[in-house]
Structure 1
Amino acid sequence: MFSFLRRPSQAAPNPPDTPSGDYLLPLSCQRLLSPPRRQLLLENIWQRASLSRAQFVELYRRPLKRYAELVQQLPASQNHHHAHLGGMLDHGLEIVAYALKIRQTYLLPIGAPPESQSAQAEAWTAAAAYGALIHDLGKIAVDVHVELEGGRTWHPWNGPIKCPYRFRYVKGRNYQLHGAAAALIYAQILSPEILDWLSDFPEAWSQLIFILAGQYEHAGILGEIVIKADQASVAHELGGNPARALSAPKQSLQRQLADGLRYLVRDTFKLNQPDGPSDGWLTHDALWLVSKPISDQLRAYLLNQGVDGIPSTNAPFFNMLQDQGVIQTNAQDRAIWKATIDNGRGWRNTLTLLKLSPALIWNDPNDRPEAYSGTVEMEISDSEDTVPDITPFTTPGPAISQGEEPGATSVVAPFVQSPAQVTGGDAGNFDDLLALLGNINEPSQPEDLPRTHAHSGNDQAQAIVEKIDPMPSTTTELGQAFMQWLKDGIAARKIVINDTKALVHTVAGTAMLVTPGIFKRYIQEFPHIERLAKAQQVNAWQLVQRSFEKQKLHQKTQKSLNIWTCDVVGPRKSKQLKGYLLLDPHTIFPEPPFDNTSLSLRSETMESSQ
């Protein structure tokens, strides 16, 4: 099977020694892969591939080296996930590790005799890894414009960058195009020998081809593996819960966003109200939605569907909508538009809006409501005409902290807009990543999907309506609603427990509710409570917290305090969690799980001594 492994490969020439001006220096694959975090990911990939070192080098390490040399220090997105210098490489390594973890939970091809599955095992494993690695590769071909020193444009099908470069994101880019664009350059990563070998396994080969063409609806189980791995990597980067992403529904995030928007616009929002305020306005060429209500309610919809990794604040949430291509950007390539709405009969207001294509909501133009009879007039910013095409600037520091090339400390970042820089607090996040990747010899099985995922979109939407309406009128009702939501969420596995990012843990034989996180999560799912809180001049999460306390379901400390403190036990951990301990864990657990061994309840004696 691996006869081609003995064939020689060509060595790439060395890049220039130093950058000049405001350009980034192209780095060798050895330097790009040298940081400890990337080395650990490579080691994890090798162990999951279960191959000899020689086989691993040809099937995995060399493609990964070619990938590193091709993507260099380009980010994976402009301002969403992995938006730092080198983000594309980090995302690529992470998603391969996740894909191999998920692949271990399947016997492939599904339904084949055991002897056939054994004979094809390495091919299916490699195909899953290649599909994951290359799924976003088209971004470097169509989403970014790379300029080489001297003014020439670099295209990835011409091979790795060999001289200093800089880049900017393309304005008005088609956010769906990069999925298909990977087909232009995958041969830069996968050698002809690898392609020859994979083509001998028709089912795996056909599914991989569909992934490379961006047609996940035809990509079968490999497409599902890649989507789940991508969701896990994105969730980890955004501070969400990758374990939930590994067991998330098959739909892509883009599909879930579109479904949520369709439901809200068709069944919830009031459009084109003739006498004044509306949730949105439909004109002949666009649908305009008021930014705050749509962000709050769409976020609540996604959380209710069990989708984690959703930004809790609006700025990154709008960036996510932009990156997924479900909204249209303004002339400055930003999500928010400012417009004045005038009904022509005395009501006039200036609002911040999101712009959508009506075709996203109504496939059939005949199903659309009548266009708004008033006017929607865009306000043009004075700064739009003065924004330069190229605005170089210096980065606070290089993207690669280990083994930098000489002179790299003066490297200047891309022009127009800076990707987010890598923060110094990645050590803890990487602990979480390695913990999720887990025991190499015992791959964890994905969780069973919540029952809600088996229902249709209309059933799910109706469930939201039932939960949101009516609004609790008293703190007693609100406290009871919160506890019911907590119990239902745990039963449906939409609220995780005893995880590194969890808001519910088991400590001292009972449940601990992390504060204020669990109450803020509740508000994210039910933003309408903001109105009730505003009337009482209190923060919404504090209103829920007080309503919970009035239920008297929690233990108090010896000093009659409500809040308990736990120390997080583990390597390089010095974190504390504060929360409520329930009197009876059966209040939210049908069968209480074992205590979280990573948490240690702090005694009041310890607290008073500090």
Structure 2
Amino acid sequence: MFEIVVGKLGKLFLSGGSPTPVNFSVNASSPPPSPAVPGTLPVLSARELLSARREYVNRIEELASTTPLHFEQYYLSMLRRFAEWSQQLPASEVHHRAYPGGALDHGLGVAAAALRIRQGHLLPPGAPPEEAVLKKSLWTYAIYTLALLHDAANPSLNQVVTVFGEDHSTWGWNPWAGGIGSNPNARWYKVGFHRHGHQRCQPCAGLMLAPYLVGGEGLAWLQSDPILFAHWLACASGDDAKAAVLGEIVSKAIGESVGHCSDSRSPTM
């Protein structure tokens, strides 16, 4: 199944080019006037979205405990794609982080919590210390990617997004064809919700987004350890019985993030 997903969706998403680099200095510009529709939100770059969330990014880098080059190559690249994908979508309609930008805040909060919880585990489980040292970076990265993926498909399954072009033309967002801003004409969007969501499909749908969000290089690194990759696939697809410690760590991080979140944008770490 995973090979089919990577083969088909990988070509679709990964051909879209590199995400916008994070540069926290946002250039001031005068965007065209938004359409006269209440509740519209502007399409933003990863730089703009993450500039308001420096504390999250700094905390994730600290907990990743890796070199700046490695953080840029694996962690920050996924974070940029995740930010551009999430935009200012809410995490839910009426529950946790039900405000513009809530989906991004929730993902970053879970990632930071999962990395912190990971520090209390010797991984792989039962491994001798020398093996744990050699595989520390890979297992840490696996937990980070799972934390960001866990709720990434929520907007595609439970939300209805209408996109507005600069000329105020409109179209419905097709999440399986790329992010809201993947169309160069996209300028604003408005969020609605499906009456009946598809929560049961969410884990598998999140796995379908892995080629885009994690990226080919990250997936290749994860696959370099077959045992870890088997647990990773199980966790990403919602198979808790086979996810083992990866599932335990991510589930605990989700519980912490949901339990402590509020309408504040301050990170809970």
TM-score past 0.5 threshold: yes
Aligned ranges for residues 214-225 of structure 1 at < 5 Å?
Answer: 214-225=238-249
2:11 maps to which residue?
none
Matching residue of 1:158: 177
Tell me, in whole angstroms, the C-alpha distance in 2 between the residues paired with 1:185 and 1:114: 34
TM-aligned CA deviation for residue 49 of structure 1: 0.8
Q: Using a 3 Å threshold, how does the CA distance of structure 1 residues 155 and 121 change in structure 2: closer, same or farther? A: same
Tell me the CA shift for residue 166 of structure 1.
1.2
1:55 and 2:70 matched: yes
Q: Tell me which stretches of 4 or more aligned residues in structure 1 moved more than 4 Å.
A: none
1:495-546 deviation line (CA, Å, top 9, x unaligned)? xxxxxxxxxxxxxxxxxxxxxxxxxxxxxxxxxxxxxxxxxxxxxxxxxxxx
Q: 87-96 vs 115-124, which deviates more? A: 115-124
Tell me which of 190, 197, 205 is aligned to 1:181. 205
Matches within 5 A, 1:541-580: none
* Equivalent in the alignment of 1:91: 106
Which AA in structure 2 matches 1:31?
A: E
1:59-458 equivalence runs, <5 A:
59-149=74-164, 150-162=169-181, 163=186, 164-238=188-262, 422=263, 433=268, 437=269
| Deviation string, structure 1 residues 20-56 (Cα, Å, up to 9, x no partner) | 3323210011110111xx2111111111111111110
Could you say if the C-alpha distance between residues 216 and 151 of structure 1 is closer, same or farther in structure 2, counting changes exceeding 3 Å?
farther
Tell me, yes or no, if the aligned pair for 2:158 and 2:196 is still in contact at 8 Å: no
Deviation at 1:13, TM superposition (A): 7.2
The answer to whether the Cα contact below 8 Å between 1:120 and 1:201 also exists between their aligned partners in 2 is no
Residues of 1 paired with 2:116 and 2:233: CA distance? 21
Maintained 8 Å contact 2:163/2:171: yes
Q: Give the TM-score of the pair, scaled to structure 1.
A: 0.37
Pairwise CA distance, 1:144? 0.6
CA contact (8 A) 2:19 2:46 kept: no
Contact 2:151 2:206 (8 Å CA) reproduced: yes
Shift of the alpha carbon at 1:118?
A: 1.3
Residue 218 of structure 1, CA deviation: 1.9
Displacement of 1:201 in angstroms is: 1.0
Q: 1:307-333: CA deviations, max 9, x gaps? A: xxxxxxxxxxxxxxxxxxxxxxxxxxx
Q: What SS is found at the alignment partner of 2:41?
A: coil
Name the structure 1 match of 2:45: 28
Compare CA radii of gyration and give the structure with the larger one: 1
Q: Percent identity?
A: 33
1:183, 1:213 within 8 Å by CA — same for their partners in 2?
A: yes
Over aligned residue pairs, what C-alpha RMSD do you find?
A: 2.1
How far residue 88 of structure 1 moved from its aligned partner, in angstroms, is: 0.5
Deviation at 1:167? 1.7
Count how many residue pairs are aligned between Structure 1 and Structure 2: 234
Structure 2 length as normaliser, TM-score? 0.81
**1:211 Cα deviation after fit:** 2.1
Cα distance in 2 for residues equivalent to 1:69 and 1:178: 19
Q: Using a 3 Å threshold, how does the CA distance of structure 1 residues 12 and 94 change in structure 2: closer, same or farther? A: closer
Deviation per residue, 1:414-461 (Å, 9 max, x gap): xxxxxxxx45xx66xx5xx3xxx4xxxxxxxxxxxxxxxxxxxxxxxx
Distance 2:215 2:141 in 1: 13
Output one character per residue of 1:367-414: Cα deviation in whole Å (capped at 9) or x when no partner. Answer: xxxxxxxxxxxxxxxxxxxxxxxxxxxxxxxxxxxxxxxxxxxxxxxx
Aligned 8 A contact 2:161 2:192 in 1: yes
Tell me the distance in 2 between the aligned counterparts of 1:206 and 1:159: 27
Looking at both structures, which has the greater relative contact order when contacts are Cα pairs under 8 Å and sequence separation is at least 6? 2
The CA deviation at 1:113 is 2.1
Partner Cα separation in structure 2 for residue 20 and residue 27 of structure 1: 16
